[in-house]
A and B are shown apart, each in its own frame.
Chain A
Amino acid sequence: MTMLPPPSPRKLGLVIDLDTCVGCHACAVACKEWNDGGQFGPLPDEDAYGAEPLGVWFNRIHSFEVKPRRDATGNGPLQELAKTGFAENAPAMTVHFPRSCLHCETPDCVTVCPTGASYKRAEDGIVLVDEDKCIGCKLCSWACPYGAREYSEKRGVMQKCTLCVDRIYNESFAESERQPACVMACPTRARHFGDLGDADSAVAKLVAERGGVALMPELGYAPVNRYLPPRPRRAGCDGTPAVSADESLDRSQLSPLLRWVDKLLSR
């Protein structure tokens, strides 16, 4: 049934910290591994070891370069930047950006589905594909702004992030392991799983505290997942570069031994 269920109070989703994500792809690999063998697998690749490997991944890690915005005279919007603590003369920063299904509240990927294969669960808002009903028309992937759905050429059906629905309710796991594989795998704890519909949940508090944002809200899909923006860079806080350009050496700071070595080497 591809009509959307009435809005549920429970909105399970992910909160991704763009400040601490180091772009290691461990979440993507853990996701591929779990879901290849999980209830919604397998995730076979075409030409896996050949020249052009191609296959379904539910999670993709981009890297973006962010440059402080400057106008024609070389000045940035200072007030705006002050909020982020990002100094005007700061160098560009790299932001690693995991991209997966955002389990939107009003997802068109569900309503465009002609067969009822694509659905949003009424009880927790997870968006899933019933692979036994999918005809592989690919329309849902066209309807998703976030590129969350990938078509499996090998299986002839659409596949997508399941929020590890086969882990999070799995009673054969210890309570601490009832989390999506990507969250379990993250070495920097940049991924958090929880109920974003509950204002008292740890993830909702984290979003409130860090000013978590929704992606492309202007498209009206009302994504549930939130991204936590990078924290202010230390070097940028007072505008003083951490390393000065000419790298002059202050000998008075050195220990007597190093001062002697410096003297020796400077001859």
Chain B
Amino acid sequence: MHPALSVIFFTTLSGAGYGLLALLGGGIALDLWPRDTTATLAPLAVGLTLASLGLLASTAHLGRPWRAWRAFSQWRSSWLSREGVAAVATYMPAIVLGAGLLDTSGSSTWSPLPRICGALLSVGAAVTVFCTARIYSSLRTIPAWSNSLVAPVYLLFASYSGGLWLWLLSTVAQRGAPGADRLGLAPALLAGMALVAIATALLKLLYWRHIDSAAPRASIESATGLAAFGSVSAFEHPHTEQNYITREMGFVLARRHAARLRAVALLAGFALPLATIATALQWPALATVSAFAALISGSLGVFVERWLFFAQARHVVSLYYGARSV
């Protein structure tokens, strides 16, 4: 599949944004997050900005973006429509939560309303990312996408990239603090983030192993209905130039460099951020620099991973254009 930048930015930016909002909302709902206006407002604003940028990027993929409002209507059948509805609905608890933060009456714990908003924010963000994943995993025409690993991969990647943002924002907020407080997040939380990183990388490895070894879903013989006659191969294409189908679904570049790009995604996305987490735990004074490096490197890895997700996926229509089985 053609890896359109608009769709890659949509899934990675909104993934990070909703991941950040889900973590923040969960922290507030469980009363784990400090009742502090700036410490809460910063991740809330950054999360909403990232999610909004991602949604805006997705409209760049549209032929008629000013009609995008129509996409909220078909939630009964379409995961794309459900994603739109969930994305917009998630703004509501975020706005109420944000408005509530302006009341700085000094309580050190969260009152019930923000905790409910936090829970709704967390659930809404997770549902939105799940819907994003289902847009792709519901397509039976693309075997690399329509499998049960895609949704968990999207959810884990969202929480991981959201976690990287949360860490950076927390270290920046506490850069003047003494000792281990400069870590931004509690050492246990950082260790938890390292575990999420490892789990995400392992799940992605499992996904890659699955798409490399899965039995083909259809063959050129079944696509042409000529199986009874023998082996079929494309002899002459209908057109001498490209058409929409070959441009959109016939992308081959990534499959040639897949192994190298997968290594880049794992090293930049996970190995380097894990090293920076270890560095920060060892030398808390370096926490902000480490968190910044982790975010930059991790985002690059996630970008490469998402690019591969699109570019490596083969569509069954390529059977009509020379592929033997997909």
Q: Do A and B bind each other?
A: yes
Residues of B contacting A165 in the complex (Cβ-Cβ under 8 angstroms): none
* A66 near B239: Cβ-Cβ < 8 Å: no
Task: Say whether B286 faces chain A, with CB atoms less than 8 Å apart.
Answer: no
Task: Say whether B241 faces chain A, with CB atoms less than 8 Å apart.
Answer: yes
* A135 near B231: Cβ-Cβ < 8 Å: no
Stretch of A49-57, A169-177, A246-254 on the interface side:
A49-57
Which residue on chain A has the smallest CB distance to residue B82?
A114
Task: Say whether B147 faces chain A, with CB atoms less than 8 Å apart.
Answer: no
Residues of A contacting B222 in the complex (Cβ-Cβ under 8 angstroms): 215-218
How many A-B residue pairs have C-beta atoms within 8 angstroms? Tell me: 210
CA distance A65 to B322 in the complex (A): 11
CA distance A86 to B231 in the complex (A): 12
* A114 near B226: Cβ-Cβ < 8 Å: no
Task: Say whether B173 faces chain A, with CB atoms less than 8 Å apart.
Answer: no
* B70 near A57: Cβ-Cβ < 8 Å: no
Interface size of B by CB at 8 A reads 57
Which residue on chain A has the smallest CB distance to residue B74?
A2
Digit string of B63-77 for contact with A (CB within 8 Å is 1, else 0)?
Answer: 111011011111011
Digit string of A136-167 for contact with B (CB within 8 Å is 1, else 0)?
Answer: 11110111111100111101111000000000
Interface size of A by CB at 8 A reads 77
* A62 near B234: Cβ-Cβ < 8 Å: yes
Digit string of A114-129 for contact with B (CB within 8 Å is 1, else 0)?
Answer: 1111000000000000
Residues of A contacting B84 in the complex (Cβ-Cβ under 8 angstroms): 114
Q: Quick one: which of A52, A65, A215, A217 contacts B232, CB cutoff 8 A?
A: A65
Chain A nearest CB from B321 CB (Å) reads: 8
Q: Given contacts A143-B139, A145-B316, are A63 and B236 in contact (CB under 8 A)?
A: yes
Q: Quick one: which of B62, B80, B231, B243 contacts A112, CB cutoff 8 A?
A: B80
Residues of B whose CB lies within 8 Å of any CB of A are 1, 61-65, 67-68, 70-74, 76-81, 84, 135, 138-142, 217-218, 220, 222-226, 228-239, 241-245, 248-249, 315-317, 320
* 13 A-B contacts (beta carbon < 8 Å): A2-B76, A54-B243, A65-B233, A69-B231, A95-B232, A111-B77, A113-B77, A114-B84, A138-B61, A139-B78, A151-B248, A216-B218, A230-B229
Residues of A whose CB lies within 8 Å of any CB of B are 1-4, 18, 23, 25, 28, 52-57, 60-69, 76, 80-81, 83-84, 86, 93-95, 97, 99, 108, 110-117, 133-139, 141-147, 150-153, 155-158, 213-220, 227, 229-230
**Closest A-B pairs by Cβ, 7 of them:** A136-B63, A156-B63, A213-B225, A114-B81, A60-B238, A115-B70, A114-B71
Extra inter-chain contacts (14) besides given A86-B229, A115-B71, A138-B61, CB under 8 Å: A28-B238, A60-B243, A61-B238, A62-B234, A62-B237, A113-B78, A135-B67, A142-B315, A147-B317, A156-B64, A157-B63, A213-B225, A216-B222, A217-B222
